């Protein structure tokens, strides 16, 4: 499976290197791109006898002329509309010359009921908001509810960020080339793309590898090889011990969800470190999860070193206040170096003095993962949250600043590592928008970290497993159900090894 996600600039570099190596030239790539779209139109819309093809002035429009000519030769009635003309001497100009249909100005386009619309106005080269005639064409098409097949990207969707520039087509189907682009995976663009098909147009894998892409689709092949596996004589502590910090007596449920998820993700032992005041309430709810009184950083550190704790969940149910941030700084500064997952209120607490935390995290030698949702992210990284870049870019910058893997939650969760690697999760589901679901996620990450999985891979795997668990349960799930669904998810992964 080809998991690289290419920015439009990386894609264009792949085109350039492929053309330089030959034998395909730019027009050869365009012909293959157009053929891929035309054959998708024919196979996926077999009943379409009339097609409106809308072409822009660049190479995306060039692909459109190729599509129009192939469909015409296949006996389809094609109406061709053009916005601007390709520049002389370009591949797009050649494609227009080779197309036997005379285009009409896009201003004359009005969708006809039952027609398929092929959107070849703008693709990778969109660099400003759509307006004027193109905007009207998009609005007419939406009003007529005509099915749209987009070439590379729906016009109006930024391939780089997934943002809508002005307005955009809502496609049923998008055919892109060689690899996905961030705009196919990040919201809101992902929604406008509909189903996405990646067509092979002859760009070799070696060329893709040579441009050094660092963003990936979050699929099991990205991290399967790093999943824990155990020798027959393993015992509970060698399988990894997780410590999860409980909040006070009225805030204990969140961390119990994390603890259970860590155990279900495969940690051999999980201990809840609970303040004295919450011991009884925790004791009343725990069975296989162990319980230990802990009222200070010193007590926690003693336990961590005595019981060889490999991973910590720190955040769910804790107070979003300075003592929480201080305790985390103490844990990170002590030289024990367990893996630490910082979640929920602990992130809010760190936002009281971000620079103080970044100083400690830069010096920390253990694996560190932060799991903010957008609100927590904006508290800890207010300048990054306010900038205009993509979610991918924001997560990457945050990971570098915090010297930590940052898992920025949402329907299009992004996981970024300080080394520049990033992954975009695609299997998220609205089923996960339920109280406690984030606590389960941080527990899964800790469970995998405790078993020795590297931090970036553990965060990616956890995000994927979390969503698969939700999908396996379906509507009606509550966060309490998610840990119990993990054995099924892990079983399927094991079967795929």
Ligand X SMILES: NC(=O)C1=CN([C@@H]2O[C@H](COP(=O)(O)OP(=O)(O)OC[C@H]3O[C@@H](n4cnc5c(N)ncnc54)[C@H](OP(=O)(O)O)[C@@H]3O)[C@@H](O)[C@H]2O)[C@@H](O)CC1
User: Would you count residue 35 as binding ligand X (CB under 6 A)?
Assistant: no
Q: For residue 177, state whether it binds ligand X (rule: CB under 6 A).
A: yes
Q: Is residue 155 part of the contact set for K ion (CB under 5 A)?
A: yes
Residue 417 sits in the site that holds K ion (CB under 5 A):
no
Does 167 contact K ion by CB under 5 A?
no
Under rule CB under 6 A, residue 152 binds ligand X? yes
In the list ligand X, K ion, none, the entry touching 405 (Cβ below 5 to 8 angstroms by class) is none
**Choice from 91, 119, 343, 468 touching K ion (CB under 5 A):** 119
- Rounded to a whole number of angstroms, the minimum distance from the CB of residue 29 to ligand X is 4
Give the closest residue to 299 by CA, choosing from 329, 344, 330: 330
Residue with tokens 């060698």: 238
Which of ligand X, K ion, none does residue 160 bind to, with CB < 5 to 8 Å depending on kind? Answer: none
Instruction: Answer yes or no whether residue 60 interacts with ligand X by CB under 6 A.
Output: yes
Between the CA of residue 321 and those of 327, 346, 349, 409, what are the distances in Å?
10, 8, 5, 22
Peptide bond into 23 cis (omega under 30): yes
Q: Which helix (H) or strand (E) holds 30?
A: helix 26-44
CA 417/CA 403 separation, integer angstroms: 8
Binding site members for AMP: 409-413, 438
Residue 118 vs 380, nearer CB to ligand X: 118
Q: Which stretch binds K ion (CB under 5 A): 118-126, 281-289, 362-370, 453-461?
A: 118-126
Would you state the torsion angle of the CA atoms of residues 230, 236, 238, 244, taken in this order, to the nearest 10 degrees?
A: 120
Specify the 3-state DSSP secondary structure of 196. Answer: strand
Query: Is residue 127 involved in binding ligand X (CB under 6 A)?
Result: yes
The partner in contact with residue 126, picked from K ion, ligand X, none with C-beta cut-offs of 5 to 8 angstroms by kind, is: ligand X
Alpha-carbon distances, residue 206 vs 17, 18, 21, 356 (angstroms): 10, 10, 11, 44
Q: Is 88 in the site for ligand X (CB under 6 A)?
A: no
Q: Please report whether residue 442 would count as binding K ion according to CB under 5 A.
A: no
Residue 130 contact, options ligand X, K ion, none, Cβ 5-8 Å cut-off depending on partner type: ligand X
Listed ranges 53-61, 216-224, 414-422, 435-443: which one lies at the site for ligand X (CB under 6 A): 53-61
Q: Could you tell me the sign of the dihedral formed by the alpha carbons of 163, 150, 152, 197, in that order? A: positive
Hey, what are 25's tokens?
Answer: 């030239």
Binding to K ion by residue 151, rule CB under 5 A? yes
Helix axes 437-450, 455-473, angle to 10 degrees: 130
Placement of tokens 């300080």 in the chain? 418
| Min dist. Cβ of residue 166 to K ion (A) | 14
Residues making contact with ligand X (CB under 6 A): 12, 15, 26, 29-30, 33, 56-63, 122-130, 151-152, 177, 201
């Amino acid at each position: 499976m080809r998991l690289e996600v290419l920015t439009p600039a990386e894609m264009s570099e792949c085109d350039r290197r492929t053309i330089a190596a030959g034998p395909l030239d730019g027009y050869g790539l365009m012909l293959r791109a157009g053929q891929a779209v035309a054959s998708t139109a024919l196979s996926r819309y077999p009943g379409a006898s009339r097609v409106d093809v809308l072409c822009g002035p660049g190479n995306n429009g060039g692909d459109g002329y190729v599509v129009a000519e192939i469909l015409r030769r296949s006996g389809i009635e094609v109406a061709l509309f053009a916005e601007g003309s390709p520049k002389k001497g370009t591949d797009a100009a050649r494609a227009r010359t080779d197309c036997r249909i005379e285009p009409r100005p896009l201003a004359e386009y009005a969708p006809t009921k039952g027609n398929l619309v092929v959107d070849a106005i703008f693709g990778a080269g969109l660099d400003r908001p759509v307006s004027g005639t193109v905007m009207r064409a998009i609005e007419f098409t939406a009003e007529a509810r005509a099915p749209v097949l987009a070439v590379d990207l729906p016009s109006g969707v930024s391939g780089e960020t997934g943002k809508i520039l002005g307005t955009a087509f809502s496609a049923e189907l998008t055919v892109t080339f060689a690899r996905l682009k961030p705009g196919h995976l990040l919201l809101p663009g992902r929604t406008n793309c509909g189903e996405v098909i990646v067509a092979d147009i002859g760009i070799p894998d070696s060329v893709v590898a040579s441009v050094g892409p660092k963003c990936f689709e979050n699929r099991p092949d990205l991290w399967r090889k790093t999943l824990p596996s155990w020798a027959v004589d393993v015992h509970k502590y060698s399988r990894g011990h997780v410590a999860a910090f409980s909040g006070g007596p009225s805030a204990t449920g969140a961390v119990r969800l994390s603890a259970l998820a860590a155990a279900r993700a495969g940690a051999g032992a999980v201990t809840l470190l609970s303040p004295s005041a919450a011991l009884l309430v925790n004791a009343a709810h725990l069975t296989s999860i162990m319980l230990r009184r802990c009222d200070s950083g010193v007590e926690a550190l003693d336990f961590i070193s005595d019981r060889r704790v490999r991973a910590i969940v720190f955040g769910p149910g804790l107070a979003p206040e300075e003592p929480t941030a201080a305790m985390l700084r103490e844990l990170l500064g002590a030289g024990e170096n367990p893996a630490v997952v910082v979640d929920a209120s602990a992130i809010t607490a760190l936002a009281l003095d971000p620079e103080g935390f970044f100083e400690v995290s830069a010096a920390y030698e253990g694996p560190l993962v932060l799991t903010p949702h957008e609100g927590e992210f904006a508290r800890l990284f207010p300048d990054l949250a306010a900038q205009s870049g993509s979610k991918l870019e924001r997560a990457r910058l945050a990971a570098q600043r915090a010297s930590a893997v940052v898992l920025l939650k949402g329907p299009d969760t992004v996981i970024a590592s300080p080394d520049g690697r990033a992954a975009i999760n695609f299997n998220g589901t609205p089923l996960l928008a339920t109280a406690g679901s984030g606590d389960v996620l941080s527990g899964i990450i800790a469970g995998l970290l405790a078993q020795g999985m590297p931090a970036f891979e553990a965060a990616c795997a956890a995000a994927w497993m979390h969503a698969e668990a939700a999908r396996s349960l379906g509507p009606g799930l509550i966060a309490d159900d998610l840990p119990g669904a993990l054995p099924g998810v892990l079983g399927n992964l094991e079967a795929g090894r």
